[in-house]
């Protein structure tokens, strides 16, 4: 199965449970260890599906054509199974259902039920692999629906539990003796091209060094991680040993703060970032809002206009002078945030 990774960047805008979103990303990057996937990695010579014992177990078979999976879709009996796309090509089927925002029962986004069903199919498939006596529950559709409704309820309660407030946000300088590295990633939707950029400043808000990176095609999280990696590498080589790092990608920050499974599509760049963070220096990484990261955003967008590879700037490029001046003056923007 040869899917185009950057085509699926819209998934980051979908409302999905984090573990389900991670599963979807792995699926769309062809990293699930189906028997066909395991054979491609030299882990087995048996391609047969262990549930129905018929057909080669690739992604399409696991999630759609296996008789075990077909029964699950029939039990759910939604627009997913009734749609003409159910018999279309694998990639078209995925794309159409992931793009479907129709509200089931006036509340559940169709794409949410679709992805959670995929996740349960994979979960139950794995349980069968490790326990030959495992059988799918008699009402799988009910279990999937209960999971979706419970997650929506919990999400709504969490959202309602935090009072909101309007505040003014702006970039702030690091403490004396420290430098601050702001990084950002950028992606052009139509082409799938990605870039990254970053800036290092001191407590006097002075420019120390900056960079822009053109990485060709990829997905948006890849761009964010490359921005962090190159920024950290630049800060280390410049001799800074007390560094505050800020990124406006909460997901990228979480990836670097938690354990990473070996089959993660971006395992290598995540591991490289963690290795640099663990060097003998005082380096903190945290999330910031876009309103506090505008100069890094401008540098990332500049990266699209430059040649492939890394461009280091000893002086601020003319294209970002205005936004950098606004940062220096403490220009603030309004944003509604949780009041914790």
Q: How high is the mean pLDDT of the chain?
A: 89
Between the CA of residue 283 and those of 178, 201, 220, 306, what are the distances in Å?
Answer: 10, 14, 24, 29
Same domain, 236 and 149: no
HSE-up of residue 340 (Cα within 13 Å, Cβ side): 4
The phi and psi torsions of 319 (rounded to 5 degrees) equal -65, -20
Question: Tens of pLDDT along 86-123?
Answer: 678 898 899 889 988 887 877 888 899 999 999 999 99
- Of the candidates 203, 267, 279, 195, the one whose C-alpha atom is nearest the C-alpha of residue 237 is 279
Same domain, 11 and 96: yes
Residues 6+ apart with CB under 8 A from 110: 78, 79, 80, 97, 100, 101, 102, 103, 104
Alpha-carbon span 233 to 275, nearest angstrom: 11
313: β partners:
210
Domain edge (last residue) among 161, 179, 199: 161
201: β partners:
180, 207
- Of the candidates 10, 305, 303, the one whose C-alpha atom is nearest the C-alpha of residue 185 is 303
Same domain, 147 and 179: no
Alpha-carbon span 62 to 64, nearest angstrom: 6
For the chain, give the number of residues. 340
pLDDT over 70 (residue 339): no
pLDDT over 80 (residue 298): yes
* 46 band by pLDDT with thresholds 50, 70 and 90: very high
Same domain, 153 and 185: no
CB 48 within 8 A of CB 113: no
**Whole domain around residue 191: which residue ranges?**
169-338
Which tokens sit at 189? Answer: 């939707």
Which pLDDT does position 164 carry in this prediction? 66
pLDDT over 60 (residue 143): yes
Same domain, 227 and 331: yes
Same domain, 237 and 292: yes
Which pLDDT does position 48 carry in this prediction? 93
Alpha-carbon span 69 to 118, nearest angstrom: 9
Which pLDDT does position 195 carry in this prediction? 97
* 311 band by pLDDT with thresholds 50, 70 and 90: very high
pLDDT over 80 (residue 330): yes
Question: Tens of pLDDT along 259-291?
Answer: 887 777 788 999 999 999 999 999 999 999 999
Question: Tens of pLDDT along 7-40?
Answer: 677 888 888 998 899 999 999 988 899 999 999 9
CB 216 within 8 A of CB 190: no
Between the CA of residue 257 and those of 142, 186, 245, 271, what are the distances in Å?
Answer: 35, 22, 13, 11
* 248 band by pLDDT with thresholds 50, 70 and 90: very high
* 65 band by pLDDT with thresholds 50, 70 and 90: very high
Alpha-carbon span 322 to 320, nearest angstrom: 6
Question: Tens of pLDDT along 218-239?
Answer: 888 899 999 999 999 999 999 9
The CATH number linked to 189 is 3.30.420.10
Same domain, 305 and 184: yes
Same domain, 17 and 145: yes
Domain edge (last residue) among 161, 193, 223: 161
CB 303 within 8 A of CB 186: yes
Same domain, 39 and 184: no
Same domain, 112 and 240: no
CB 310 within 8 A of CB 213: yes
Same domain, 154 and 257: no
pLDDT over 80 (residue 6): no
Provide the domain count of the chain: 2
HSE-up of residue 156 (Cα within 13 Å, Cβ side): 8
Same domain, 194 and 136: no
Q: What is the CA radius of gyration of the chain?
A: 23
pLDDT over 90 (residue 154): no
Per DSSP, helices labelled H in 198-280 are 220-237, 250-257, 267-277
Which tokens sit at 12? Answer: 């980051």
Domain edge (last residue) among 129, 161, 193: 161
């Amino acid at each position: 199965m040869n899917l185009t990774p950057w085509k699926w960047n819209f998934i980051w805008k979908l409302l999905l449970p984090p573990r389900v979103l991670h599963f979807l990303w792995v699926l769309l990057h062809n990293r699930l260890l189906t028997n066909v996937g395991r054979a491609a990695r030299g882990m087995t010579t048996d391609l047969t599906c262990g549930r129905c014992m018929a057909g080669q177990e690739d992604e399409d078979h696991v999630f759609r054509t296996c008789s075990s999976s077909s029964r699950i879709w029939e039990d759910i009996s939604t627009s997913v199974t009734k749609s003409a796309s159910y018999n279309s090509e694998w990639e078209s089927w995925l794309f159409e259902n992931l793009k479907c925002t129709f509200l089931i029962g006036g509340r559940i986004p169709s794409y949410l039920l679709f992805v959670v069903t995929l996740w349960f199919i994979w979960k139950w498939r794995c349980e069968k692999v490790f326990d030959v006596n495992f059988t799918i529950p008699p009402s799988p559709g009910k279990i999937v629906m209960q999971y979706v409704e419970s997650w929506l309820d919990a999400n709504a309660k969490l959202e309602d539990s935090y009072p909101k407030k309007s505040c003014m946000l702006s970039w702030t300088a690091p403490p004396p003796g420290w430098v601050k590295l702001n990084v950002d990633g950028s992606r052009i939707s139509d082409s799938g091209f990605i870039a990254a950029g970053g800036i290092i400043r001191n407590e006097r808000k002075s420019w120390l060094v900056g960079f822009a990176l053109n990485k060709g095609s990829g997905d948006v999280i890849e761009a964010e991680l490359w921005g962090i990696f190159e920024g950290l590498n630049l800060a280390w080589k410049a001799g800074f040993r007390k560094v505050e790092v800020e990124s406006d990608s909460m997901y990228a920050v979480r990836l670097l703060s938690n354990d990473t499974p070996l089959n993660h599509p971006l395992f290598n760049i995540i591991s490289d970032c963690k290795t640099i963070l663990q060097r003998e220096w005082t380096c903190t990484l945290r999330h910031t809002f876009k309103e506090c990261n505008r100069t890094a955003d401008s540098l990332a967008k500049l990266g699209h206009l430059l040649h492939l590879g890394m461009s280091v700037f000893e002086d601020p490029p003319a294209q970002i002078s205005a936004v950098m001046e606004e940062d220096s003056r403490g220009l603030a923007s309004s944003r509604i945030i949780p009041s914790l």
